[in-house]
Amino acid sequence: MSQTARIAIIGGGICGLSLALNLHRHGIACTVFERAPEIKELGVGITLLPHAMREFTALGLQDELLKVGIENRESAFFNRFGQLIYKEPRGKFGGYPYPEVGIHRGKLHRILYDAAIARLGADAILTDHECVGVDQDDRGATIRFKDRASVTADVVIACDGINSALRKQFVPDDKIAFAGINTWRGITRRKPILDGRTYMRVGSIVTGKIVIYPIVDDIDGNGNQLINWMAEITQDTVGQNDWNKAGDLADFFDIYKDWKFDWLDVAQMIRDADQILEYPMVDKDPIPRWTFGRVTLAGDAAHPMYPRGSNGAAQSAIDARTLADFLASSADPRDALTSYETARREVTANVVRTNRAHPPDFINIKVEKLTGDQPFDNLDKYITQDELRALSENYKKVAGFAVSDVSHGKR
């Protein structure tokens, strides 16, 4: 026998749970259907930029996120010889009204899940429900699940990620785009690096890049932090990494084996990792529509983007708030889906294109070219700090998180 739900959310990840919490804020009932049998704290680190924290703060979650994460004070760019290129204050230290937070992705997911259970009730968040497709007519939509009874709903929101079953149904020729960049992510327990509150980009994707930032403070009572790092390398290959597969040091360590700076032994940090996972650097081409009658796409199901620039979670959270606002103000939920798509589709398509063409380590790449990929004695001979600052500010504008954008609530 089928069940009935007014609004069905497929996927209980960051986007799906954010949407459920935003709908609850408007007093709108919904049901979340998650394919995993149980919610586990999986993954590695994630950075919540100020526009992401704006969304989670509106849901009343800022204090909880700050309690389990680390508030970044600054961002620093280094060449592959460990020389400082440029640094700038971040989050509230950089004039934003919200902090920038490094956090374990699993901790973020758990906080969203626990909040959803507490506010919506356990019967509104259903695990072990793998959606395999949807049928619809003038009366409603019927969601089909693997080994579960079907569910009917007024509208269905696909928040089921880059491998969305519903996106595949409506965009059958859809393909993942892989540009030859593979990544390896790890977490290492060690003493704080620099001030213990810095987001670091070292090297470039041309010669080998690593992003490093802390995600848990005093993890063992001895002052050690949990450090998240991601090695990112352009390779002349069409071979694509798997997701969440155990990484092999032999595949990438040779590039970093001599990276020993006076402020950090990168090679030792990699060797000491608790866990190394490999991921492909992939996204999908923007599609001309997200909404198909009573079904729409959101988050990574709508606009999967490169896992660089820390913008994926932010854009998913903005999707969730925007869609909930339209559902709250529209007499017909189908009109809300159309309005939401109009508000968000081209905005996020621009972010996808920006992440491809304008990587966050563009400053490193620029300096690498100017110095001939050699150590420098005086960087001002090649480029000034004011010029580097202008490049950084322009990137924030293009990527949608300039101080003015976040302060004024732009989407």
State pLDDT tens for residues 325-349.
Answer: 999 999 999 999 999 999 999 999 8
Model confidence band, residue 310 (pLDDT cutoffs 50, 70, 90) = low
Residue 290: phi and psi, rounded to 5, are: -110, -25
DSSP state of 193: S
At 243 the pLDDT is 52
CA–CA separation, 37 and 49 (whole Å): 30
Beta-strand runs (E) in 37-191: 45-48, 70-71, 74-78, 84-89, 101-104, 125-126, 131-136, 141-145, 148-158, 176-190
Q: How confident is the model over 143-158, as a mean pLDDT?
A: 96
State pLDDT tens for residues 50-64.
Answer: 999 999 999 999 999
Q: What tokens were used for 41? A: 């704290």
At 241 the pLDDT is 45
Mean pLDDT, the chain, rounded, equals 90
Model confidence band, residue 388 (pLDDT cutoffs 50, 70, 90) = very high
Q: What is the residue extent of each domain of the chain?
A: 3-71+105-175+287-357
State pLDDT tens for residues 251-283.
Answer: 899 999 999 999 999 999 999 999 898 877 777
User: What one-character-per-residue DSSP string does 321-337 give?
Assistant: HHHHHHHHH-SSHHHHH
Confidence check: pLDDT of 2 > 50: no
Q: How confident is the model over 185-193, as a mean pLDDT?
A: 96
**Prediction pTM value:** 0.92
Q: Give the range with max mean pLDDT: 223-237, 320-334, 354-368.
A: 320-334
Model confidence band, residue 33 (pLDDT cutoffs 50, 70, 90) = very high
Strands 131-136 and 45-48: unpaired
At 309 the pLDDT is 60
Model confidence band, residue 411 (pLDDT cutoffs 50, 70, 90) = very low
Q: What distances in angstroms separate CA 328 from CA 23, 337, 340, 387, one per listed residue?
A: 8, 11, 12, 45
Which one of 3.50.50.60, 3.40.920.10, 1.20.1260.10, 3.30.360.10 gives the CATH number of domain 3-71+105-175+287-357?
Answer: 3.50.50.60
Strands 31-33 and 3-10: parallel
State pLDDT tens for residues 60-98.
Answer: 999 999 999 999 999 999 999 999 999 999 999 999 999
Is-contact 16 9, C-beta < 8 A? yes
% of the chain beyond a pLDDT of 90:
72
Model confidence band, residue 128 (pLDDT cutoffs 50, 70, 90) = very high
- Residue 171 contacts by C-beta under 8 Å, 6 or more apart in sequence? 287
Residue with tokens 């992401």: 52
Confidence check: pLDDT of 41 > 90: no
- Greater model confidence, 276 or 233: 276
% of the chain beyond a pLDDT of 70:
93
